[in-house]
Amino acid sequence: MDFLNAIIVLFNFTVIPALAYGSQLALGAIFVTLIYAVLRFANFATGDMMSFGTMFAVILTYYFQSLGFGLGVLPTALLTIPFAILMMILYMLIIDKFVFSYYRIKKSPPVQFAMVSVGVMFVTQALIRIIIGPSDRRFLDGEKFIIKATEFKEMTGLAEGITLKSTQAITIIVTLIVVSIMFWFLNRTKTGTSMRAYSDNEDLALLSGIDPKRVVLITWVIAGILATIGGVLYGLDKSYRPFVYFNNMLPIFAAAIVGGIGNPFGAFLGGYVIAFAEIFVTYAYKRFISYLLPEHLEPDSLLQLLSTDYKFAVSFSILVIVLLIRPSGIFKGKVI
């Protein structure tokens, strides 16, 4: 019985949050990695682009709520995602047309691209703050919990309970659906194959008649979908705050590089690697251990490797270690 309790404690406080957080990171990381693979630059505007898409979802959610639309138990935000994605893709295409395409045609070095993306980051951040403001916004409605701790305890008779927030379940399910569709698209369809060919060898792809404009367009479309969905899921789970999204860019970069930049599947797994590492290293194992050990051996301290303040630092340290030992990432991305 104690053993079961211990497992449930671990599951409730680490595995479920890590899965949800990892899914959000994974979507962002695939976004980064796709841009890197096809357009060949590290996009420093990642976090703010995700924020930009989410902003539309937030505004539309408020609008739909005022009209009385809704999905009942599900959050209204899910209904707004398609519209937000459209706006996001439109914005990305405008940015690409006026900013990135010039450097792509000139074949500028990646550093210049990175600096340009910093400029885009500034502009996007300004637009977000001017349109919606920097304050904290919650836009979750509908049912908050799927399983509550008290109900779980009553059902099973255990001392510890499992809480499953609906946002966590939605995050994991939506991520799995989106990612599987994306992998099917990349690996099984002709367009997806042409994208991968373009990313592997641009000249060869051009010779075999692949239209680069179309590849770039489709990359931005997929990027827009991933960025918006990732951003909205994060916003539903925590809350929407422009500044936080900028900060999230850093673990997302870590996830993309740890998974092997340029490799979408690596980025997907990298998101979970980073999330699990962050949560496992900063979790206090006292309650978990006290169930497993006999009573007189109970530990005094919290048994925490690092305090939760260092959550981000953990993922960055993992990134630094990976860069040092295996710069191509765990799952072999592009060779650096």
Partner 1 sequence: MRNYKNVIAAYSIMIFLIILVGIFQSWSIALTILNYCLISAVMTIGANIQWGYAGLINFGIMGYTALGGLAVVLVSVEPVKKAWQVGGLNILACIWIIVAIIFVVKFILNRFDKSKLRNYSVASVILGGIILLRVTAAPGIEAIESVDPAKTGFLGGMGLPVLFSWIFGALLAGGLAFVIGKIALGLRADYLAIATLLIAEIIVSIIKHEEWLARGVKNVIGLKRPAPYEIDLQTSEWFINLVTKFNSSKLNLINSISDKQEALNQMVIDASSVYVKLCFTGLFLTVVIFLLIVTQKALYSPWGRKMRAIRDNEEAASAMGKNIVKEHLLIFILGSAIVGLAGAMMVTNDGLFTPGSYRPMRYTFVIWVMVIVGGTGNNFGAILGGFVVWFLWVEAAPIALFLINLFTSHLPETNAVRVHLIESAPYFRFLVIGIGLLLIMRYRPQGIIPEKIIKQ
The pair phi, psi for residue 261, each rounded to 5°, is -65, 140
Q: At CA 253, angle to CA 275 and CA 204, rounded to 5? A: 125
Residue where the block lists tokens 């899914």:
23
Nearer Cβ to partner 1 (127/217): 127
Residue with smaller CB distance to partner 1, 67 or 324? 324
One-letter amino acid of 9: V
**Piece in contact with partner 1 (CB under 8 A), picked from 113-121, 150-158, 176-184, 231-239:** 113-121
At closest approach, how far in Å is the CB of 2 from partner 1?
26
125: how many CB neighbours lie within 10 A of its CB?
A: 20
Q: Return d(Cα 54, Cα 226) in angstroms, integer.
A: 11
Indicate whether 330 belongs to the interface with partner 1 (CB under 8 A): no
Write the burial class of residue 97 (CB in 10 Å: 0-12 exposed, 13-18 middle, 19+ buried).
exposed
Rounded distance between C-alpha atoms, residue 298 and residue 165, angstroms: 31
Among residues 145, 147, 159, the alpha carbon closest in space to that of 9 is found at 159
Comparison of 126 and 159: residue with beta carbon closer to partner 1: 126
Does 25 participate in binding partner 1 (rule CB under 8 A)?
no
Question: Can residue 218 be called a binding residue for partner 1 (CB under 8 A)?
Answer: no
What are the CA-CA distances from residue 58 to residues 173, 231, 244, 252 (Å)? 21, 11, 15, 22
Is there binding between residue 246 and partner 1 (CB under 8 A)?
yes
For partner 1, how many residues bind (rule: CB under 8 A)? 44
Based on C-alpha coordinates, what's the Rg of the chain? 21
**Among residues 83 and 312, whose Cβ is nearest to partner 1?**
312
- Within 189-310, residue ranges assigned H as helices are 190-200, 202-207, 212-237, 242-258, 264-282, 286-292
Interface with partner 1, residue 94, by CB under 8 A? no
Nearer to partner 1, 69 or 122 (CB): 122
Nearer to partner 1, 73 or 321 (CB): 321
Asked if residue 110 binds partner 1 (CB under 8 A), the reply is: yes
Residue 319 found at the interface with partner 1 (CB under 8 A): yes
Is residue 4 near partner 1 by the rule CB under 8 A?
no
Lay out the site mask for partner 1 across 252-281 (x = CB under 8 A, - = otherwise): -xx--x------------------------
Q: Report yes or no: 253 and 319 within 8 Å, Cβ to Cβ.
A: yes
- Residues 158 to 197: which contact partner 1 by CB under 8 A? none
Q: Which of 102, 143, 208, 298 binds partner 1 (CB under 8 A)?
A: 102
Binding residues for partner 1, per CB under 8 A? Answer: 41-42, 99, 102, 109-112, 114-116, 118-127, 129-130, 133-134, 246, 250, 253-254, 257, 301, 307, 309-310, 312-313, 316-317, 319-320, 323-324, 327, 336
